[in-house]
Structure 1
Amino acid sequence: MSDLLKGKKILVMGVANKRSIAWGCSQMMMENGAELIFTYQNDRIKKSLSRLVSEEEKLVECDVSDDASIENAFKLVNERFGKVDGILHAIAFANKEELGGEIMQASREGYALAQDISAYSLIAVAKYGREILNDPSSIVTLTYFGSERAIPNYNVMGVAKASLEASVRYLARDMAKYGTRVNAISAGAIKTLAVTGIKGHSELLKMSEERTVDGESVTIREVGGTCAFLMSDLSIGVVGDVIYVDKGVHLI
């Protein structure tokens, strides 16, 4: 363990299970000395998260589709732990039927849902998070190359990730006055619960692996290393950026 994040408290939003990129980020932050607090959406996610996090008081319910839920969750975090030094936003969702075929088949409701949960939630988290974030502090979110390229079947999620990345830039501008820097990590394709919801995900994972510089997929811990850096004071000059952690897939 290093002391890169010693004394820092980080709020982690979006761990679903041990394969989650958010869990890889959590592992690396803990190994670098951070104290972590976790949010969960519902009892099902809480049950899964409890297998990874034994301290009940470090689990806080939060549904990012509900502003009141976010506000209440952050108030509870502040009451239990005081102000935090960072927030990891690792939350995205789209209906499975929107992740296949042609983009024109996307429903208006499905498109709006993907935008709400995957992109607007970052703005909401920043809005209420401002009250519990120290100066300096860091917000990190997770995106994917499908924001820039038309990845097969990614569809409304790709559009939502493009919106998320634009939100990072605007939030970085507006949160700077509060001492909070905002950045995104564009992670390579990894077999997570979210990826398995995409039609043809096996082919996507294989194609991504073949395009890495060493022929091996990036791991959740490798993504986590960059997250730990962005949460640390070493990244104080990195603002409003998207950092690729995909072993070079985006180069081709």
Structure 2
Amino acid sequence: MSEREPAFDFLSLSDKTVLVMGVANKKSVAYRIANILESCGVNVIYTLRSEARRESLAKLLAGRTTLICDVEDQAQIDAMAAKLKSDGVELAGLVHSIAFADYPEGIRPFHETTRQQFLQAIDISAFSLTSVCNALKDCFANDASVVTIGISTTRMASESYGFMAPIKAALESSLAFLTKSFSRFSEVRFNAVAAGLLKTSASAGIPGYVDSYLYAEKVIPRGRAVSTDEVASTAVFLISPRSSGITAQSVVVDAGMSINYFDASVVSAVTSADVD
């Protein structure tokens, strides 16, 4: 990560503290967000899922403050919040980049999703945002910004994403309710970056995802997929005071894919294949 001081603090983030949740490796969206935040002079505190994850990231996060917090365990969430509060930490922002879905038998039809799969996924990927924010409410600055990572559309029934679209829809819906709820005692904002298909280690493990990613590159007008840094840069903007008028929103970052499904070359390729 860059140790340079920002030449001009356009985003007004210098010397502020932001908590980043969800770093798994150097390709993680959370890591790229943290990287940009640090280049803006932000003090980033990292929460990691386990001691094993902390050990695996020891070199990558050398010299950084790391806390253990498995969001499936409320006691760990509470302990993390208590630690920050006892240390007198005031958070200008929270980055929630956490998602998990279990596909032990690969991607199956949505109606075959098991109760255990769905409830675990919604607990980790959606409810954890509410649980963490409630625990941290006394640590947030009055005008803090919370940013989570969603997907570009929760209405596209993509088979390669399994049952995660409904989970992300729940996450997205919670933004409005958290904004309203927190408005009773603060000006904390809640937004999401609704990302298009990304090339990350996590996504590579989803059955069928790579083919969808390659298709996205064909549909996107510029001919190349959304980069992790493009998503990360948008998240940093939403964390910053420069986005103070934006709350309860999902900002789509898909490089225009949603406007180009009927691109002539794509349509031609499909219809020609049908003829053959």
Larger mean CA deviation between 6-15 and 191-200 belongs to 191-200
Contact preservation (8 Å) 2:193, 2:250:
yes
Alignment gaps of 5+ in structure 1: none
Distance 1:80-1:37 versus aligned 2 partners, 3 A rule? same
Tell me the residue number matched to 2:274: none
Whether 1:135 and 2:142 are equivalent positions in the alignment is yes
Identical-residue share of aligned pairs (%): 31
Shift of 1:79: 3.1
Tell me the residue number matched to 2:25: 17
Tell me the residue number matched to 1:65: 72
Could you tell me which of 212, 215, 228 is aligned with 1:220?
228
Q: How far, CA to CA, are the matches of 2:52 and 2:254 in structure 1?
A: 30
- Provide the TM-score with structure 2 as the length reference: 0.86
- Provide the TM-score with structure 1 as the length reference: 0.94
Whether 1:78 and 2:80 are equivalent positions in the alignment is no
SS where residue 218 of structure 1 aligns? coil
Contact preservation (8 Å) 2:160, 2:212:
no
Distance 1:60-1:81 versus aligned 2 partners, 3 A rule? farther
Considering only CA atoms, is the larger Rg found in Structure 1 or Structure 2? 2
1:79-118 counterparts in 2 under 5 A?
79-80=86-87, 82-97=89-104, 100-118=107-125
Query: Please, what is the CA RMSD of the aligned residues?
Result: 1.5
* Residue type of the alignment partner of 1:162: A
Contact preservation (8 Å) 1:65, 1:116:
yes
Tell me the residue number matched to 1:201: 209
- CA deviation profile, 1:22-50 (whole Å, cap 9, x unmatched): 11111111112211000001123212332
Whether 1:239 and 2:247 are equivalent positions in the alignment is yes
Tell me the residue number matched to 1:27: 35
* Residue type of the alignment partner of 2:179: A
Distance 1:185-1:99 versus aligned 2 partners, 3 A rule? farther
* Residue type of the alignment partner of 2:122: Q
Tell me the residue number matched to 1:229: 237
Contact preservation (8 Å) 2:127, 2:171:
yes
* Residue type of the alignment partner of 1:59: T
Distance 1:248-1:54 versus aligned 2 partners, 3 A rule? same
Q: How far, CA to CA, are the matches of 2:22 and 2:70 in structure 1?
A: 10
Larger mean CA deviation between 172-181 and 119-128 belongs to 172-181
Distance 1:7-1:98 versus aligned 2 partners, 3 A rule? farther
Tell me the residue number matched to 1:158: 165
Q: How far, CA to CA, are the matches of 2:105 and 2:83 in structure 1?
A: 35
Shift of 1:193: 2.2
Larger fraction in helix? 1
Whether 1:186 and 2:186 are equivalent positions in the alignment is no
Shift of 1:81: 5.5
SS where residue 57 of structure 2 aligns? helix
